[in-house]
Amino acid sequence: MFAGYLVTCSLATVLIIKYIGKKWTFVINHFICTILGVMVNYLNMYGGVLALGAASVNVTCMGIVTTYAIELFPTYMRAMAVCLTILFGRAVSIVFYNTIGAQLQNNCSNFIFILARLIAFGGFVGIFLPSDRNRMKKENVKIEKSKDKNEPCSSCSTT
């Protein structure tokens, strides 16, 4: 059931990216998850579980980070950049999961606030990511021009 929820959220994220771009999807997703993380401490048990489950949508941002790694590095380094991005993400998650148990037992509410602050910091850093809206508009203009001339565009396959 949870996997279906994440797949649905991932598909919704793809649709949202089409309209507002990767950068702002990343930032808005982080700030929504920050608000939900803070709300966990103030809601009853069932509301807290729902808020924490909704905050797990932040997992969809890993795909956005990977696409930025692909776009920022030159062609001959892209495979290594993607591998290092995923490797670093997994290494951080292993360290995080080893510390989360003890912190939740000792300082549960403080730990949730710290997580919300970390996610907010990620959203703040996301503001400085390069915008992809201008590039998307340029590609659409190229496609429209090639349709007017009845020529294949550079991004279209001619197979």
pLDDT single digits (tens) 72-104: 888 888 888 888 888 888 888 888 877 877 777
Q: Domain total for the chain? A: 1
Is residue 19 one of the residues assigned to a domain? no
Q: What pLDDT sits at residue 157?
A: 55
Is residue 71 one of the residues assigned to a domain? yes
Is residue 156 one of the residues assigned to a domain? no
Range of the domain at 110: 24-130
Task: Give yes or no for residue 107 having a pLDDT over 60.
Answer: yes
Q: pTM of the full predicted structure?
A: 0.72
Task: Give yes or no for residue 27 having a pLDDT over 70.
Answer: yes
One-character DSSP codes across 65-118 = HHHHHHHHS-GGGHHHHHHHHHHHHHHHHHHHHHHHHHHHHH-HHHHHHHHHHH
Task: Give yes or no for residue 45 having a pLDDT over 60.
Answer: yes
Is residue 149 one of the residues assigned to a domain? no
DSSP letter assigned to residue 130: P
Cα distances from 15 to residues 85, 97, 155, in angstroms, run: 24, 31, 21
Is residue 155 one of the residues assigned to a domain? no
Is residue 137 one of the residues assigned to a domain? no
Q: What is the mean pLDDT of residues 143-152?
A: 60
Is residue 141 one of the residues assigned to a domain? no
